[in-house]
Structure 1
Amino acid sequence: MPHSPRRRPDIRLILLLGALAACGPLATDMYLPSLPSIAQTFGVSAAAASATLTSFMAGFSVGMLLYGPVSDAYGRRPVLLGGIALFTVASIACWLSFSIGELVIVRFLQALGAGAASVLARAIARDAHDPSDAARVLSMVAIVMSIGPLLAPLIGGQLLLLGGWRVVFVALTLFGLACAVAAWLRVPETWPAEKRESAAVFRSFAAYGRLLRDPLVWGHMLCGGMAFASMFTYISATPFVYIEYFHVSPQHYGLFFGVNVFGIMLGNVLNTRFVGRLGVLRMVSMASTLSCVASLFVALMCLTGWGGLWSIVFGLFFVVSVVGVLGANCATDLMHRYPMNAGAAAAVFGAAQLGLGALASAVVGMFPGVSPFGMGVTIGACGVLAYVGRMLLVRWHGHPAPGQARQPAST
């Protein structure tokens, strides 16, 4: 279906969308150096403390699945504002938590709110752009979004020194309030009322069944989702592997983390430059191949101990760097394949990413101790499954979506 002319968002909107989409990464990355401290405060194991990270990713996934179809039916702006409000209130509850069980629950609610900005940033970019333009815009949003996670562990480590882990949630509360005000004042509605009138909520949710019958959707979910799961395994495991096994200080941990966020930014910069020339499919194919090779390298280093900490850091740089490339291109291709259900398409892809990330976090937490072994096994498996997704994409790209006539592949 041809797209009607749309007003392209200016650079200020791109900057704002990037800041809003950073709610989730900031809520994850800023408190990573505090995980060992949280475990000590509540007298629980490292795996129990990591459950707060797993519950966050689960809440993020559920939120995306709710927000996508609802925004298709009622518009992007009100859903976005409601999600940010929930994020802010839940951040206050995290700050005031006095048991690990309570923190796990309110972290879920915090993520439920944060999911709005992530899925709707993608949908807003799709509303206003053709495929290659949308992929470039999403990469620009991801670059902006990466600035927060680049600084977050460093800030989190300093806040831990200043006032303990609760101060981290005070900072997230203030960030949520700033985002709510900015979104209220500056984010426009990009999904026209006439399109919302033809898409009832139950039809929007029913689109999930159609999406999940499409092999191409599964290819994108595996490519983008398993690459993200590799990264989230790293996020879940390295606070303990780096700080407790390799004796990196919580303050210096942020520097190691920042190197990989720089890699994500670099990957997105390269994507904005080359996606128009090479096309979405080729970018996804190359990035997923690199993800698989780098993941297997990390697994080998973790299992054998060759090269120690620095060999793991080297391999993880490439594992993490392609995550943004895969996220931008896979989501863009899906949303343009399903133009009238772009919110649902963005949601199912985002939920797959976060759900697989939560699963990987749970799996790596099942390995005993704090050695790199569990991290290596999990990342290696994720890399292989990402390549399986690439095989599905190569096989099914260009085939019609369920219920559609055959059409040219997205570029």
Structure 2
Amino acid sequence: MSHVVRRRPDARLILLLGALAACGPLATDMYLPSLPAIAQTFGVAPGVAQSTLTSFMAGFSIGMLLYGPVSDAYGRRPVLLGGIALFTLSSVACAFSFSVGSLVFVRFLQALGAGAASVLARAIARDAHEPADAARVLSMVAIVTAVGPLLAPLIGGQLLLLGGWRVVFAVLTLFGALCATAAWLRVPETWPPEKRASPAVLKSFAAYGRLLRDPVVWGHMLCGGMAFASMFTYISATPFVYIEHFHVSPQRYGFFFGANVFGIMIGNFLNTRFVGRFGSLRIISVAATVSSAASLFVALVCVTGWGGLWSIVVGLFFVVGVVGLLSANCATDLMHRYPHNAGAAAAVFGAMQLALGALASIVVGLWHDTTPTGMGFTIGAAGLLCYAGRLMLVRWHDRPVSESVTGRMAP
């Protein structure tokens, strides 16, 4: 009988996976301070400028659904390298966009490439580790990944002063080229040929049907996905709410944004310390409760105006702080529930997160203003649905896969 050797990635691999997974967050966060300037450049409303975020999330989501099964069939490494190459070339096209329509399109392509790193970082961690170890490694990767978004709005604000929003995409091009080179040299193949899906991609894609019949999968997607939707509502709305409604400078906005990314780092650090002791399900249950309560608090202060800017900032710190922790544990638990389709499981979870983030961006854009009201209603609704996902997990988590999917135990 053959045995798969489970080995712990060294610090260099964790750093590299974190940098690769940061392509998506960097491509989002570094240009956030430029959103008002982009709207002004093309002479469009704030909601139209926000559509460049929505198209990015849509491309990211679709890309992950493609990459997961393809990597299950053909291995992680070639899919990862192709995605990073697409990200780099599309970043060049973003820098040379001369209409908001063309920017929306090439942002979609940029996201298709960036999605490879996000889904495959999770799959690579799962390939090499048991559940508790994989959750810890994913949290360590997330801590590394968070360094980029922590600095990205600060850098983006300074680049806006230096040469305008096009310079942001020039910097992203350079980052993508460096990541592609490092991945080519250092990222190993962790999915051996004997474990790959057969017949090829078709069998891998067929796994989506089985996944989507499992209420545990939906519980994970609601917990992790609606928490992410709350965060993405904040990402989409605060450039206008903070900068235009509360008159925060683009440079100071970067500090507010960085505080929330620091909260994500704290949450992931705590996860590395406690997930082995308490298990993923208990961590998810506590984190989803915190996310839901904080989301409802933010909704209250946004709608009523109680406490002003600082009440919103404090509430969002807790909303955003548990997102990475929920993502790491939900994804890890789901991949180990479906060990033979780990890439597809990671993809369907990540794609749902991003689809819900894109939907939240569309909803908050419907308000067509710079007040906190739309952000508050959207985050509040996401918080309630996150708690609904927690209730599903508590009820269904211990039910075997065959019984969850078919309603009876397999023979």
Query: Same-fold call, TM > 0.5?
Result: yes
The aligned residue for residue 91 of structure 1 is 91
The aligned residue for residue 38 of structure 1 is 38
CA distance in structure 1 between the partners assigned to 2:3 and 2:303 by the alignment: 51
CA distance in structure 1 between the partners assigned to 2:248 and 2:363 by the alignment: 24
Paired letter, 1:229: A
Matches within 5 A, 1:230-241: 230-241=230-241
Q: Residues 305 and 197 of structure 1: is their aligned pair in 2 closer, same or farther, counting only changes over 3 Å?
A: closer
TM-score (norm 1): 0.97
Aligned residues: 406
Paired letter, 1:146: A
Paired letter, 2:232: F
CA distance in structure 1 between the partners assigned to 2:160 and 2:404 by the alignment: 54
Give per-residue Cα distances to partners, 1:356-390, cap 9 Å, x unaligned: 00000000000131000000000000000000000
2:151 maps to 1:143: no
Contact 1:263 1:318 in 2 (8 A): yes
The aligned residue for residue 279 of structure 1 is 279
The aligned residue for residue 253 of structure 2 is 253
CA distance in structure 2 between the partners assigned to 1:166 and 1:368 by the alignment: 25
Paired letter, 1:328: A
Q: Residues 3 and 347 of structure 1: is their aligned pair in 2 closer, same or farther, counting only changes over 3 Å?
A: farther
Paired letter, 2:306: W
The aligned residue for residue 184 of structure 1 is 184
The aligned residue for residue 228 of structure 2 is 228
Contact 2:299 2:379 in 1 (8 A): yes
Query: What secondary structure is seen at the aligned counterpart in 1 of 2:8?
Result: coil
CA distance in structure 1 between the partners assigned to 2:285 and 2:248 by the alignment: 35
Matches within 5 A, 1:143-162: 143-162=143-162
CA distance in structure 1 between the partners assigned to 2:169 and 2:267 by the alignment: 30
Contact 2:72 2:197 in 1 (8 A): no
CA distance in structure 1 between the partners assigned to 2:127 and 2:155 by the alignment: 35
CA distance in structure 2 between the partners assigned to 1:13 and 1:321 by the alignment: 25
Displacement after TM superposition at 1:3 (Å): 6.9
Displacement after TM superposition at 1:334 (Å): 0.4
Q: Residues 118 and 405 of structure 1: is their aligned pair in 2 closer, same or farther, counting only changes over 3 Å?
A: closer
Contact 1:72 1:199 in 2 (8 A): no
Q: Residues 73 and 372 of structure 1: is their aligned pair in 2 closer, same or farther, counting only changes over 3 Å?
A: same
Which runs of 4 or more aligned residues in structure 1 lie more than 4 Å from their structure 2 counterparts after TM superposition? 403-406
The aligned residue for residue 71 of structure 2 is 71
The aligned residue for residue 409 of structure 1 is none
The aligned residue for residue 104 of structure 1 is 104
Paired letter, 2:374: G
Displacement after TM superposition at 1:11 (Å): 1.1
Displacement after TM superposition at 1:405 (Å): 11
Paired letter, 1:168: V
Paired letter, 1:337: R
Contact 1:132 1:276 in 2 (8 A): yes
Q: Which runs of 5+ in 2 are unaligned?
A: 407-411
CA distance in structure 2 between the partners assigned to 1:403 and 1:113 by the alignment: 36
Q: Residues 334 and 120 of structure 1: is their aligned pair in 2 closer, same or farther, counting only changes over 3 Å?
A: same
Contact 2:214 2:404 in 1 (8 A): no
Contact 1:210 1:402 in 2 (8 A): no
CA distance in structure 2 between the partners assigned to 1:139 and 1:198 by the alignment: 32
The aligned residue for residue 357 of structure 1 is 357
CA distance in structure 2 between the partners assigned to 1:313 and 1:255 by the alignment: 11
The aligned residue for residue 342 of structure 1 is 342
The aligned residue for residue 409 of structure 2 is none
Displacement after TM superposition at 1:197 (Å): 5.6
Query: What secondary structure is seen at the aligned counterpart in 1 of 2:400?
Result: coil
Query: What secondary structure is seen at the aligned counterpart in 1 of 2:402?
Result: coil
CA distance in structure 1 between the partners assigned to 2:109 and 2:131 by the alignment: 33
Displacement after TM superposition at 1:200 (Å): 1.9
Contact 2:39 2:48 in 1 (8 A): yes
The aligned residue for residue 329 of structure 1 is 329
TM-score (norm 2): 0.97
Displacement after TM superposition at 1:6 (Å): 2.3
Displacement after TM superposition at 1:153 (Å): 0.1
Query: What secondary structure is seen at the aligned counterpart in 1 of 2:7?
Result: coil
Q: Residues 289 and 3 of structure 1: is their aligned pair in 2 closer, same or farther, counting only changes over 3 Å?
A: farther
Displacement after TM superposition at 1:215 (Å): 0.2
CA distance in structure 2 between the partners assigned to 1:403 and 1:67 by the alignment: 28
Displacement after TM superposition at 1:231 (Å): 0.2
Paired letter, 2:39: A
Give per-residue Cα distances to partners, 1:310-330, cap 9 Å, x unaligned: 000000000000000100000
Displacement after TM superposition at 1:402 (Å): 3.2
CA distance in structure 2 between the partners assigned to 1:368 and 1:122 by the alignment: 36
Q: Which runs of 5+ in 1 are unaligned?
A: 407-411
CA distance in structure 1 between the partners assigned to 2:3 and 2:388 by the alignment: 32
CA distance in structure 2 between the partners assigned to 1:115 and 1:194 by the alignment: 25
CA distance in structure 1 between the partners assigned to 2:10 and 2:335 by the alignment: 21
Paired letter, 1:401: V
Contact 1:213 1:402 in 2 (8 A): no
Displacement after TM superposition at 1:404 (Å): 8.5
Contact 1:221 1:352 in 2 (8 A): yes
Displacement after TM superposition at 1:24 (Å): 0.1
Give per-residue Cα distances to partners, 1:34-83, cap 9 Å, x unaligned: 00000000000000000000000000000000000000000000000000
The aligned residue for residue 118 of structure 1 is 118
2:74 maps to 1:60: no
Q: Residues 272 and 81 of structure 1: is their aligned pair in 2 closer, same or farther, counting only changes over 3 Å?
A: same
